[in-house]
Amino acid sequence: MPMRGASKSRRFKFPEETSVIFALLLLVAIVGSLRPIFLKPENLLNLAASYSISALLAGCIVYLLSMGEIDLSFGWILNLSAVIAGVLMIAGVPVWIAIIIGIIAGGVMGAINGVLTVVMRLPLIIVTLGTASVYQGVSLITNKSGSVVPTDEKITTNIFFRALGGDIETPIPIILIFVVLAFVVLHLVLHKTRFGYRILAIGSNPEAARLAGIPIKQTKILVCALMGFVSGIGGVLFLGFRGAVDPTTGANLLLPVVAAAIIGGTALSGGAGTVWGSLYGALIVGVIGVGVVFLGIDAVWSTLVTGLVILFAIGVDQIVRVRKNRAG
């Protein structure tokens, strides 16, 4: 027996994300071989920058999926956080203060989701069905159902807007650097801290986690608050990146973000998740979307392909889970 164990430990083990990285490279190679212009570094960097905010959200929703939960409201948290920050800037609040308030507002909205889930003893998906509309509604009231566009020169010349908006030329878009750093933090928190282990334990077996003394309610509230906080960051990043926030901003983020996490290898059944995988998953969703434009395919195909991949991934997840239960 020890001999077998030793030989196993010596065997090289590919990282969990290998398959998704391979898929990403394969897709890039396919699109690039058919349309070489796609491989121009600025195109690839622009692609990554365009999808960086949804990638950031995908990195965080891995936490919720790992815990066996899903949040439907994060797109509207992103929207409302950006609206709050933008409205405050227009009202004369210093840019950095407005940004901090916007992000904190995101965290508070996430925490509200968590508290409601715990208090009402309902799955997060049901609670956020309601809160998504609440946050959207508050956003519409706050922005008077119009776009929030900070146009004052004092605001637009602030380094936050200049750096994110591309006015300061850098070899790699600033937003991309920020998101990669955020991924390092998200990865370390999920896989190297007690908080992260608790999340995975709850997702794996809530009853066992409870018996082991893990504070399930507190952990749930904290993860929801973290999702809101990261959505808030996404909101202010969007405001800096695009220079405005619209009433519809964030409305269509749910599908690509969840798809990115699932394609990246995070199981819907909870108990496991890969933050880096979600980054590659987001890039795959991006390459599919961008690829269809580069290849001159009608937009309908992009939606169809993304949807089918998600359905397939969900189906596979279900099959694996059922077999696992049977084996158990």
Partner 1 sequence: MESKSRKARWSAIALTTGMVLTANGVATPAQAAEKKLTIGFVVHAVGNPFINQIIEGAKAAAKDLKITLKVTGPAGAEGDAQLTAVQNLAAVGVDGIATSVPSASMMKGLNAVIKAGTPIVQFNGFVDGVNAPYVGEKSVESGRLLGKMVLEKIGGASAKGSVIMGNCFPGFPVLENRSKGVQESLAKAPGIKIIGPSDVKVDAAANFAAWQGLLAANPDALAMVGLCAPDVESIGKVNAAVAGSKTIGAGYDLTAGNLEALKNGTAHISLGQTPFIQGYLPVYMLVDSIRNKIKINKSGFIDAGTEIVTATSVTEPFGSAPLTFAKLQKMSTSPSATRTYYDKIVKGYIKNWQKNLKPIAAESA
Nearer to partner 1, 83 or 225 (CB): 83
Nearer to partner 1, 114 or 291 (CB): 291
Task: Tell me the C-alpha distance between 125 and 131, whole Å.
Answer: 10
Nearer to partner 1, 232 or 289 (CB): 289
For the CB of residue 31, give the shortest distance to partner 1 in the complex, in Å: 8
- Give the binding site for partner 1 (CB under 8 A): 19-20, 22-23, 26-27, 30-31, 34-35, 37-38, 40, 43, 46, 50, 140, 143, 145-147, 149, 165-166, 238, 242-249, 251-252, 263, 265, 284, 288-301, 303, 305, 308-309, 312-313, 316, 319-320, 323-324, 327
Q: Is 138 exposed, middle or buried (0-12, 13-18, 19+ CB in 10 A)?
A: middle
Q: Contact at 8 Å (CB) between 234 and 55?
A: no
253 alpha carbon, distance to own chain's centre: 9
For the CB of residue 176, give the shortest distance to partner 1 in the complex, in Å: 15
Nearer to partner 1, 23 or 214 (CB): 23
For the CB of residue 247, give the shortest distance to partner 1 in the complex, in Å: 3
Q: Contact at 8 Å (CB) between 87 and 148?
A: yes
For the CB of residue 220, give the shortest distance to partner 1 in the complex, in Å: 26
Q: Which secondary structure element, helix H or strand E, spans residue 226, and what is its range?
A: helix 216-242
CB atoms inside a 10 Å sphere around CB 94: 13
Tell me the three state secondary structure of residue 121. coil
Q: What phi-psi label fits residue 267: left (phi over 0), alpha (psi between -120 and 50 degrees) or beta?
A: beta
Nearer to partner 1, 147 or 178 (CB): 147
For the CB of residue 233, give the shortest distance to partner 1 in the complex, in Å: 16
Nearer to partner 1, 77 or 245 (CB): 245
Task: Tell me the C-alpha distance between 233 and 102, whole Å.
Answer: 8
Nearer to partner 1, 208 or 295 (CB): 295
- HSE-CB at 295 with a 13 A cutoff on CA atoms is 19
Task: Tell me the C-alpha distance between 52 and 212, whole Å.
Answer: 37
Which residue, among 251, 245, 195, has the nearest Cα to 225 in the 3D structure?
A: 195
Nearer to partner 1, 195 or 301 (CB): 301
For the CB of residue 65, give the shortest distance to partner 1 in the complex, in Å: 15
Residues 6+ apart with CB under 8 A from 83: 139, 142, 143, 148, 235, 245
Which residue, among 52, 127, 121, 83, has the nearest Cα to 239 in the 3D structure?
A: 83
